[in-house]
Structure 1
Amino acid sequence: MIRLIGILAGLFFSVAALWGLGNGLATVIADGQLKEPTVEHEFHLPARPANLQSDGPFGTWDLAQLQRGFQVYKEVCAACHSLKFVAFRDMAALGYSEAEVKALAAGFQVPGIDPATGEATLRPGLPTDYFPSPYPNAVAAGAANNNAIPPDLSLITKARHHGTDYVYSLLTGYRNVDTFSIGGKNVRDEFPEFATPPNTHFNPYFANLNIAMAPPLTAEGQVTYAEGQPRATVDQMSKDVAAFLTWTAEPKKVKRTQVGWPVMGFLLFATILAYLAKGQVWAAIKPKKKHA
Structure 2
Amino acid sequence: MFKKMKETQMRQFSSKLVGKLAGATLAAAIAFSGASVAQAAGEYEKPLDVQWGWEGPFGTFDRASLQRGFQVYKEVCSACHGLKYLKYRNLGDEGGPGFSEAEVKAIAAAYQVKDGPNDDGDMFERPAQPKDTFKYPFENEQLGRLANNGAYPPDLSLMTKARDGGADYLYSLLVGYEDAPADMQMQPGMNYNKYFSGYQIAMAQPLYPDSVEYADGTEASVDQMAKDVTTFLHWAAEPKLEARKSTGFIVMTFLVILAGLLYFTQRKIWSDQH
TM-score range, shorter chain: 0.7 to 0.9
After TM superposition, give the deviation of residue 195 of structure 1 in Å: 2.9
Distance change >3 Å, CA 174–CA 98, structure 1 → 2: same
Give how far 1:274 is off.
2.3
After TM superposition, the score normalised by the length of structure 1 is 0.74
Q: Name 1:143's counterpart in structure 2.
A: 146
Which region of structure 1 is more displaced relative to structure 2, 256-265 or 61-70?
256-265
How far the C-alpha of 1:114 sits from its partner, in A, is: 5.1
Give percent identity, aligned residues only.
44
Shift of 1:87: 0.7
SS of the residue 2:262 aligns to: helix
- Displacement after TM superposition at 1:230 (Å): 2.1
Corresponding residue pairs, total = 238
- 1:119-134 → structure 2 map (5 Å cutoff): 119-134=122-137
Q: Counterpart in 1 of 2:222?
A: 234
TM-score between the two structures when normalised by the length of structure 2: 0.79
**TM-align CA RMSD:** 2.3
Distance 1:98 1:38, change over 3 A: closer
Unaligned runs of 5+ in 1: 1-30, 180-187, 189-193, 287-292
State whether structure 2 residue 263 is matched by structure 1 residue 260. Answer: no
Quickly say closer, same or farther: Cα 1:203–1:258, change in 2 above 3 A.
same
Q: How far off is 1:244 after superposition?
A: 0.3
Correspondence 1:209 to 2:212 = no
Q: For residue 208 of structure 1, what is the amino acid of its counterpart? A: G
Q: 8 Å contact 2:69–2:232 — kept in the other structure?
A: yes
Offset at 1:81? 0.5
Give unmatched runs, 5+ long, in structure 2.
1-31
| TM-superposed deviation, 1:143 | 1.7
2:102 matched to 1:99? yes
Instruction: Report the residue type matching 1:73 in the other structure.
Output: Y
**Equivalences for 1:1-292 in 2 at 5 Å?**
38-39=39-40, 44-93=44-93, 94-113=97-116, 115-178=118-181, 188=183, 195-217=185-207, 219-227=208-216, 229-284=217-272
Amino acid at match of 2:211: Q
